[in-house]
Structure 1
């Protein structure tokens, strides 16, 4: 029996969608972790410097602002990465839908051909008999 290219493509599309779903889950986990790290950096900046620190408040503030900005930048990158993965998942789902449409069209054509063959067979039987 010959292989069905649409069935093979359907399997590939399913694998693509599943991979995109896993990537989105990973991106969400990374974003949540980055949000927590950003919150920790914000809290540390708002907190008083620990007792016994040998540097001045200016140094503490400079370091805290730099850490906060780095965390905000990392959060923006994580958000952008999640959005990119979400877009990839949407494209994979769209491809899966297109494949479904192709399969439906092919099934319609096959039903139409089967009906025509049956009609031709009946007409042939009528002309013989």
Structure 2
């Protein structure tokens, strides 16, 4: 019985990666680390846990950019976040996402005079350097208990 319920879910995950992960990374959806950790673990287990996040290898496309890794905040972080590492540098990543993402999520360079400036969208998503490539993420503060 369990197999019949989980098999369609696994297939759906592969076909909805861009929508499920992408809308959260663009800060257009709720950033719930537990959900995304479970979602990614169902595809492939995390290969490391460091820097306040679980890290997952990925081989997917999201808004015209090849995604190589996904990171999701763990319980040690003061923030809730989800992000992706891509094979594109930040300027090309911003251009690709601006062309392919839902309307209203355009990225602008924070400091046009700085070669290494971050890009920010109106929804609060950020594109920054990760080595020579770009990372895109959404970060929210955790609620105080």
Q: Shorter-chain TM-score category?
A: under 0.3
Mark the structure with the bigger radius of gyration. 1
Instruction: Give the structure-1-normalised TM-score.
Output: 0.23
Larger relative contact order, structure 1 or 2 (CA cutoff 8 Å, min sep 6): 1
Q: Which structure features the higher share of strand residues?
A: 2
Instruction: Give the structure-2-normalised TM-score.
Output: 0.21
Q: Which structure features the higher share of helix residues?
A: 1
